[in-house]
Amino acid sequence: PARGTPLLSVQGAVKRFGGLVAVNDVSFDVQAGEIVGLIGPNGAGKSTMFNLLTRTAQMTAGRVQFLGQDISTMQQRDVARLGLARTFQHVKLRPHMSLLDNVALGAHARAGAGVLRAGLRLDRQEERQILQEAQRQLDRIGLGDRAHEMAGALPLGTQRILEIARALAADPVLLVLDEPAAGLRRKEKMALGDLLRKLRDEGVTILIVEHDMDFVMKLVDRLVVMNFGAKLVEGVPAAVRADERVQAAYLGSTV
Ligand code: ADP
Ligand code: MG
């Protein structure tokens, strides 16, 4: 999609857990070619919003469109096949598998889905293509020469980057990341930020749910701030940082 085209459109999203409204009438868009940050203090509803977008949780009301299609009630795997890829807050790599095989699993998520549905097995040539693609993604993120190491032996920051490579192997249009900087050292965060900017420049659109204000402020083109389930403010980082409502929301929290 051309730069600036709306890829994702969240319209009046609501999520209730019994009497608690975790997401309260939230609307925002993500356009092709940008990095958007979804931030807010603890309990603001970020993870719940992430789960609604990735179809891990059922919306109570509202709508999410992706590439012009209503994905509000779609199966998670169909949303993935449309080109919406996600990572998990807690790394879900296969620690005893090689980097290459971990990334190849991501390629299966999209390329393999149709094949599996048709009840066929991947033939050797398809398998080889998937491994080639996995190697290409490892090269892209600078881990190409470590393809045959075990994933579990990598430092946490490198595992996070590997998880992004796995998501990229499915050739996504939109990459949605849940707190990718959590638990990383300063240098690891910098490496992650550099990678995400590089991917953005290569045309990958990114929505990042993040707790770490400093990390996200330096990274994103635009921010959506949530507080108590609702959208508080939306804008470019400098404007959001200067906004009194945002400062008050973070001050009163346990961030
Ligand atoms: P954030 O990610 O911004 O810290 P969450 O989306 O995790 O916030 O949580 C928003 C609110 O929804 C919190 O009050 C939380 O306790 C509540 N919540 C989240 N998930 C559930 C759930 N599965 N059941 C009940 N309440 C939940
Ligand atoms: Mg959360």
**Residues 181 and 230 both lie in one domain:** yes
88 in a structural domain: no
- Which of these three, 147, 171, 195, is where a domain ends? 171
Q: Which atom of ligand 1 is nearest to the CA of 49?
A: 6
63 in a structural domain: yes
Cβ(47) – ligand 1 distance below 6 Å: yes
Strands lying side by side in the sheet with 84-86 = 84-86, 174-178, 205-209, 35-39, 222-227, 230-235
**Residues 153 and 226 both lie in one domain:** no
Let me know the angle formed at the C-alpha of 28 by 19 and 113, rounded to the nearest 5 degrees: 90
CB neighbour class for 14 (10 Å; exposed up to 12, middle 13-18, buried from 19)? middle
- Which of these three, 171, 186, 201, is where a domain ends? 171
190 in a structural domain: yes
Q: Which amino acid type is present at position 43?
A: G
**Residues 178 and 255 both lie in one domain:** yes
Please state the domain count of the chain.
2
Number of other residues whose CB lies within 10 A of the CB of residue 160: 25
Residues that place a CB less than 5 A from ion ligand 2: 46-47
Range of the domain at 79: 1-83+173-255
**Residues 154 and 188 both lie in one domain:** no
Cβ(211) – ligand 1 distance below 6 Å: no
Query: 43: CA distance to ligand 2 center in Å?
Result: 7
Cβ(176) – ligand 1 distance below 6 Å: no
- Which of these three, 140, 171, 202, is where a domain ends? 171
Let me know the angle formed at the C-alpha of 205 by 66 and 83, rounded to the nearest 5 degrees: 45
Cβ(22) – ligand 1 distance below 6 Å: yes
pLDDT tens for each residue of the chain, 255 residues long: 788 889 999 999 999 999 999 999 999 999 999 999 999 999 999 999 999 999 989 999 999 999 999 999 999 889 988 999 988 766 678 999 999 999 998 877 665 444 444 445 667 788 888 899 899 999 999 999 999 999 999 999 999 999 998 888 888 999 999 899 988 999 999 999 999 999 999 999 999 999 888 899 999 999 999 999 999 999 999 999 999 999 999 877 655
**Residues 78 and 116 both lie in one domain:** no
DSSP symbol at 150: B
**ipTM computed for the complex:** 0.98
Q: How far is CA 17 from CA 51, 53, 57, 67, 175, in A?
A: 13, 17, 11, 29, 27
User: How many whole angstroms separate alpha carbon 17 and alpha carbon 188?
Assistant: 36
Specify the residue with its C-alpha closest to ligand 1, atom 21: 17
**Residues 52 and 97 both lie in one domain:** no
